[in-house]
Amino acid sequence: MWCLFYIGGDSLSNCIMSRLAETAVMQVSQTDMFQHVLNEPTIGTSIYLNIGLAGFTLLLFAWLGRNVEDPRGQLIVVSVMGVSAVSIVSYSGLASGLTISILEMPDGHALEGAGTTLAHSGETVEGTIALWGRYLTWAFSTPFILLALGLLAGSNITKIFTAIVFDVGIMITGLAAALTTSSHLFRWFWYAVSCTFLAVVFYILLVEWPEDAKAAGTTEIFNLLRNLTVILWLGYTVWWALGNEGAGVIRDAGITSWGYSAFDIIAKYIFSYLVISWTVQNEDIISSGTEFGATGDAIPADD
């Protein structure tokens, strides 16, 4: 705009070119984000370590589950392998800079006006780092967790479907909360919607599936995994509220990221290991319930 004032003294095109150059310096490219992750030890380790773990566990689970023959047991094994597979994609998206942005927080946010110093260049840019790719890819990984839990509980397809639909809702509205920069209130509005969806998933986990698990004879393992899931999923929710994208009690993007990575290690890999090792040892229980997944009483054969 103010290039117009230059028309008298300087040439207009020179002015526009220099303005554009300045803007370019201020903008953060995907390469900058990639380099930042590579050179900033806290964020970097929180991401690269998880790529390694996801790859390792994918191979480990394939090997551990290699002798499972029951189709229902195999589906459980494939489900938890899916968690690790999506995780490789998720963390690679973050490592490459594809799913990370520097976002300027809206008025009223604790990090409003905050800057980020890029680790590789030392340059400070306006905004805080949002690793929004996490929320996007959780929409693909967490359904596998719920599928495995629902199958272990002997749930019918309706409850599994409902849990998964609301679960995807949690992650997509969580993504909306992270990416909204127009209004501080709207960020928390999305957060509240996401929490409401979480309540639906918790209802299924805490009220519906325990009953099914009792009937299926899988109460012990189901309760262990359910408790782990409820505690950790609450952990993710509180961490977002405290982290650099939420209330900013934890202002550092690297520490916020490490929190999620630590939760991921338990909620994905340790959870999956428990699921697979139990399934391998209890294939008979997994395959014994003829009514598993049925939506009505079985009709006896007429012979």
Beta carbon nearer to ligand RET, 125 or 151: 151
Q: Give the pair of three-digit tokens for residue 27.
A: 């903008």
Residue 264 makes contact with ligand RET by CB under 6 A: yes
Which residue in the set 191, 222, 258, 278 belongs to the binding site for ligand RET (CB under 6 A)? 191
Beta carbon nearer to ligand RET, 141 or 162: 141
From residue 53 to residue 92, what is the string marking binding to ligand RET with x (rule CB under 6 A)? ------------------------------x---------
CB-based contacts of 159, cutoff 8 Å, min separation 6: 150, 204, 208, 209, 212
Which residue minimizes CB distance to ligand RET? 174
Token pair 């991401």: residue: 47
Residue 253 makes contact with ligand RET by CB under 6 A: no
Binding residues for ligand RET restricted to 100-159, rule: CB under 6 A: 135, 138, 141-142, 145
CA pair distance 294, 302, nearest whole angstrom? 19
Stretch that binds ligand RET, among 32-40, 46-54, 166-174, 249-257 (CB under 6 A): 166-174
CA pair distance 24, 20, nearest whole angstrom? 6
Stretch that binds ligand RET, among 17-25, 113-121, 189-197, 250-258 (CB under 6 A): 189-197
Beta carbon nearer to ligand RET, 119 or 149: 149
Q: Is 108 left (phi over 0), alpha (psi -120 to 50) or beta?
A: left
Binding residues for ligand RET restricted to 9-48, rule: CB under 6 A: none
Between the two ends of the chain, the Cα-to-Cα distance in Å is 87
Question: For the chain, what is the total number of helices (H) and then of strands (E)?
Answer: 12, 4
Which residue in the set 237, 277, 287, 288 belongs to the binding site for ligand RET (CB under 6 A)? 237
Least distance in angstroms from the C-beta of 271 to ligand RET: 8
Which residue in the set 91, 233, 258, 269 belongs to the binding site for ligand RET (CB under 6 A)? 233
The count of chain residues that interact with ligand RET, using the rule CB under 6 A, is 21
Q: What count of other Cβ atoms lies within 10 Å of the Cβ of residue 301?
A: 5
Which residue in the set 132, 240, 269, 278 belongs to the binding site for ligand RET (CB under 6 A)? 240
8-state DSSP, 128: E
Beta carbon nearer to ligand RET, 53 or 145: 145
Collapsing DSSP to helix, strand or coil, 277 comes out as: helix
Dump strand ranges (E) for 81-238: 101-103, 115-117, 124-126, 128-130
Of 41, 52, 245, 225, which Cα lies nearest the Cα of 134? 245
Least distance in angstroms from the C-beta of 8 to ligand RET: 53
Binding residues for ligand RET restricted to 267-286, rule: CB under 6 A: 267-268
Collapsing DSSP to helix, strand or coil, 195 comes out as: helix
Token pair 């209890």: residue: 282
Which residue in the set 91, 222, 236, 278 belongs to the binding site for ligand RET (CB under 6 A)? 236
Phi, psi angles (nearest 5°) of residue 179: -95, -10
Beta carbon nearer to ligand RET, 37 or 201: 201
CA pair distance 264, 262, nearest whole angstrom? 5
Asked if 49 and 107 touch (Cβ cutoff 8 Å), the reply is: no
Which residue in the set 15, 60, 89, 195 belongs to the binding site for ligand RET (CB under 6 A)? 195
- Enumerate binding residues for ligand RET (CB under 6 A): 83, 135, 138, 141-142, 145, 170-171, 174, 177, 191, 194-195, 198, 233, 236-237, 240, 264, 267-268
